[in-house]
Amino acid sequence: MKRVFSLLALNLCLFMAISANAQTTAQKIGYISTDELISIMPETAKADSVLNQFRNALIQNAQEKEQALTSAIEKFNKDSATYSDAVKEVKRAELQKMLQELTTEENRIQQQLQQKQYELIGPINKKAFDAIQAVAREQKYTHVIEKGALLVAPAGDDILPLVAKKLNITLPANYKPGIGNIE
């Protein structure tokens, strides 16, 4: 009888320990749309403005190069009758070089824009990620899921309002908690 009672007491203790452990490891799941978060951060508007100015400067520079090429071609066509064959060959080579530079300009512009975007958006992404991490720790979330990444997921909390508060950002009036759509 003592043995049965001891086994029963041991099983009860084990059950209580497992139950307590399950309760302390309960998962709290949240979700967030990082795109929505980043779109409402004031730094993003500033970065977009700087990026647009940079893009416009690059485009203006390319247009100036194109105008210079057009002018050089027009000048060559107008004056070519007075040039010797050697001068024509040198001028054609110069025009060819200008044309080649202009054709690679678009790729150069794209590369410079991507680099500038990385420089501007990188710190914003880091700030957003750090705030998400801080909110997850403070609110004891075990998992934070990118809202748009999963088609089916367990129930969770939209933590965008908490992260926005952490970053001192006011949510737009058209934000709908739980749905998370900023229209």
The dihedral through the CA atoms of 85, 91, 97, 98 has a sign that is negative
Mean pLDDT, to the nearest integer, of 42-46? Answer: 95
> b/e per residue, 53-76, with b = 16+ CB within 10 A?
ebeeebeeeeeeeeeebeeeeeee
Angle at 12 between CA 10 and CA 16, to 5 degrees: 115
**pLDDT cut 90: percent of the chain above it:** 45
Of the two residues 86 and 18, the one the predictor is more confident about is 86
Report the chain's mean pLDDT, rounded to a whole number: 82
pLDDT at 10: 37
pLDDT band (50, 70, 90) for residue 32: very high
CA-nearest of 161, 154, 152 to 179 is 161
Least reliable range by pLDDT among 39-43, 85-89, 178-182: 178-182
Q: Is the pLDDT of residue 51 over 70?
A: yes
d(C-alpha 128, C-alpha 112), whole Å: 24
**pLDDT cut 70: percent of the chain above it:** 81
Q: What is the pLDDT of residues 81-127, one digit of tens each?
A: 888 889 889 889 998 998 898 888 889 999 999 999 999 999 999 99
Least reliable range by pLDDT among 15-24, 44-53, 100-109: 15-24
Of the two residues 181 and 27, the one the predictor is more confident about is 27
Place of tokens 């416009």: 56
Which long-range CB contacts under 8 A does 126-129 form with residues at least 24 apart? 127/41, 127/43, 127/167, 128/34, 128/37, 128/38, 128/41, 128/163, 128/167, 129/34
d(C-alpha 94, C-alpha 84), whole Å: 15
Place of tokens 């975007």: 117
Structural domains in the chain, CATH included, are 24-166 (3.30.910.20)
Count other Cβ atoms within 10 Å, centred on residue 78.
Answer: 9
pLDDT at 180: 43
Strands of 35-140, DSSP E: none
Q: What SS3 class is residue 132?
A: helix
The pTM score is 0.67
